[in-house]
Amino acid sequence: MPLKVREHEEPTLNLTPMIDVVFLLIIFFMVGARFTELEREFDINLPTVSEPRPLSDPPDRIEVNIFRNGRIKVGGKFLTVDELKALLTAAHARYAEQTVMIRADGRIEYQQVMDVLTICEQSGIKSSSLAARVENEETQ
């Protein structure tokens, strides 16, 4: 007695359920994003604080350049010692953890560098560093 032999069917991948899941996820995230926007629209009287804290990244370090002739340059402007002290004091008042990088010509008197370090200390800035160049970089 002959048996009926069926042809083998090639396996197929049904993409319909996967597409349904993807669309549901898209709808879920779109609705969730809309709720966060609505929260900001409510009229809320926010509390006040006595000292505002920065909500952003800390400011960049201040670079103090001391030239061979003793002139001091910060942010593209030449400053006197008094102006430098006022600038650093104001920077420390805005951000207590302000840092200062001192870049001095290698041939100046050590006293000039110490004067700038003293101004940093008097302004309340605790973090200051001295820039130097690695000897190998000079020859490249």
Please state, in angstroms and rounded to a whole number, the distance separating the CA atoms of residues 98 and 124.
9
In-domain check, residue 103: yes
In-domain check, residue 127: yes
Residue 124's pLDDT is 92
- CATH number (domain holding residue 94): 3.30.420.270
Please state, in angstroms and rounded to a whole number, the distance separating the CA atoms of residues 73 and 63.
8
Q: What domain range includes position 97?
A: 62-133
In-domain check, residue 67: yes
pTM, rounded to two decimals: 0.56
* Chain length of the chain: 140
In-domain check, residue 38: no
In-domain check, residue 81: yes
In-domain check, residue 72: yes
Please state, in angstroms and rounded to a whole number, the distance separating the CA atoms of residues 22 and 26.
6
84-137, pLDDT tens digit by residue? 999 999 999 988 889 999 999 888 888 999 999 999 999 999 999 888 877 775
At 71, is the pLDDT very low, low, confident or very high (cuts 50, 70, 90)?
very high
In-domain check, residue 90: yes
In-domain check, residue 78: yes
Count of structural domains within the chain: 1
